[in-house]
């Protein structure tokens, strides 16, 4: 019987951390999640994968600061 493969990493090779949210702008994981991915259980990986869509949506709904009319 063959072993079940690990959950694939959601990495997109766009490794830029957003300082405000703490998420990678490519895969939407935290530094802890990125660093620990290889040792996390399948259940923990699945839980993280389920959160990524919500994180992406929530981040995109945040207002973007205006560069044309900065606060005075």
Number of domains in the chain: 1
Instruction: State residue 68's pLDDT score.
Output: 62
pLDDT means per 10 residues, the chain with 72 residues, are 67 93 94 96 95 87 63 58
Instruction: State residue 1's pLDDT score.
Output: 44
Instruction: State residue 67's pLDDT score.
Output: 60
Model-level pTM?
0.73
Q: Is residue 30 part of a domain?
A: yes
Q: Is residue 42 part of a domain?
A: yes
Q: Is residue 63 part of a domain?
A: no
Q: Is residue 56 part of a domain?
A: no
C-alpha distances out from residue 41 to 18, 23, 32, 64, Å: 26, 21, 14, 36
Q: Is residue 34 part of a domain?
A: yes
Q: Is residue 36 part of a domain?
A: yes
Q: Which domain holds residue 20?
A: 14-47
Secondary structure of 14-46 in the HEC alphabet?
CCCECCCCCCECCCCCCHHHHHHHHHCCHHHHH
Q: Is residue 43 part of a domain?
A: yes
């Amino acid at each position: 019987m063959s072993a079940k493969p690990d959950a694939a990493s959601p990495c997109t090779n766009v490794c830029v951390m957003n300082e405000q949210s703490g998420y990678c702008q490519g895969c939407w994981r935290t530094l802890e999640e990125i660093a620990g991915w290889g040792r996390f259980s399948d259940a923990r990986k699945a839980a993280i994968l389920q959160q990524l869509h919500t994180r992406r949506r929530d981040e995109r709904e945040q207002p973007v600061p205006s560069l044309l009319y900065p606060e005075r």
